[in-house]
Amino acid sequence: MGHGDHGGADLPPFSYGRAFEISPDPVFLIGCLAVLALYLWGVARLVSRGDRWQAGRTASFVLGIASVLLVTCTALNDYGMVLFSVHMTQHMVISMLSPILLLLGAPVTLALRALPAAPRGRTGPRELLRSFLHSGYVRVISSPLFTIPMFIASLYGLYFTPLFDFLMESAAGHLAMMLHFLAIGLVFFWPIMGVDPGPHRPGHVMRMLELFATMPFHAFFGIALMMGTSPMIATYADPPASLGVDPLADQTAAGGIAWAFSEIPTVIVLIALVIQWHASEQRRARRSDRAADRNGDRELEAYNAYLASLRTGPSTAGRPRADLPGTDRARPLGQRAEQRGAGHLG
């Protein structure tokens, strides 16, 4: 099945067995294998010098690479050229599921730990990476003021304009679209996941709000496709007769995928954020316990002293207080009068 044959006339009817046949895209195949090799090299470097690296991170990154290969290097990529529902599956996986899995693997953290530091006065790969992470460019593209509009524009600005049909006219255009989906997903979820260092480190609540900000737009996009009374995308308006697919039914299925699929990554992100939040609170509690052990819990002692001062009142070294025993105002009225009278007679 060649990617250059965009008419798809040679494709048999869609089935899951046919969809997952190997049909590699050279760019994604070579790129994914190269990135995976670099990641595993970094893990091996850490392990060889006795450093610890969580196996769960490695597993997540491998699954992320596998998910990209699944939708770009199988016959799904061929069927995605002629079936809107298959293309939408590709879009949702590569822009939402794959980035989350890749980011949970903490590739930036791994690179910073695995790359050797350059000699003093020189610049090596590690220093270049650190400089890039602190650059104004990264600060802009990782800001929610950029990522949220771009994430939304990847739906409305692409599918509801002639741009989509233009890109689908060639294999290069389709490749550029897939790369765009992956890149936007990575920069959108990067600050939300908060696993790797970056210029933006919002709190857990703000990260949840950023995640939820796109959900209504995602839902409305899916509903708009499902409620369409005619094919809205020219590329998929006339699928090959050999597929036996009604284009309107295929569009409705694509809308349902766009609407429902967003819930899966959302749940994964929320679970990850809750786990991170809990771990953060545990680390804060451990730091507090260690500080108390070192300082003899001075904060608690100061607080107890403050409570004691509230019970006893301020020092009586100055002007006597009326409510303290031993002062003139604290005695009954008759005793004060007698004392004043005795003092006058004396």
Domain annotation covers residue 257 = yes
Segment 21-46 mean pLDDT: 96
Q: 224 with 191: CB under 8 angstroms? A: no
Q: Which domain holds residue 109?
A: 16-115+135-289
Domain annotation covers residue 317 = no
Measure the CA–CA gap between 135 and 39, rounded to whole angstroms.
Answer: 23
Segment 145-160 mean pLDDT: 92
Which residue type sits at 124?
G
List the one residue out of 105, 111, 191 whose CA is nearest residue 144: 191
What's the pLDDT score for residue 294?
A: 65
CA R_g for the chain: 33
List the one residue out of 34, 193, 213, 38 whose CA is nearest residue 103: 193
List the one residue out of 254, 226, 250 whose CA is nearest residue 238: 250
Domain annotation covers residue 152 = yes
pLDDT band at 1 (very low <50, low <70, confident <90, very high): very low
What's the pLDDT score for residue 214?
A: 87
The DSSP string of 101-146 is HHHHT-HHHHHHHHSPPPPTT---HHHHHHHHHTSHHHHHHTSHHH
Q: 100 with 25: CB under 8 angstroms? A: no
Residue-wise pLDDT tens digits, 222-237: 999 999 999 999 999 9
Domain annotation covers residue 196 = yes
Domain annotation covers residue 305 = no
Phi and psi angles of residue 22, each rounded to the nearest 5 degrees, phi first: -65, 125
Measure the CA–CA gap between 263 and 57, rounded to whole angstroms.
Answer: 22
Domain annotation covers residue 296 = no
For the chain, the domain total comes to 1
pTM equals 0.77
Residue-wise pLDDT tens digits, 83-132: 999 999 999 999 999 999 999 999 999 999 999 988 887 888 999 999 99
Q: How many CA atoms lie within 13 A of 195 on its CB side?
A: 27
Domain annotation covers residue 109 = yes
Domain annotation covers residue 121 = no
Helices within the chain (DSSP H only): 16-19, 26-48, 55-72, 76-79, 84-92, 98-104, 107-114, 125-133, 136-141, 144-159, 163-167, 171-193, 204-213, 215-227, 247-261, 263-295, 298-312, 333-345
Q: How many residues does the chain have?
A: 346
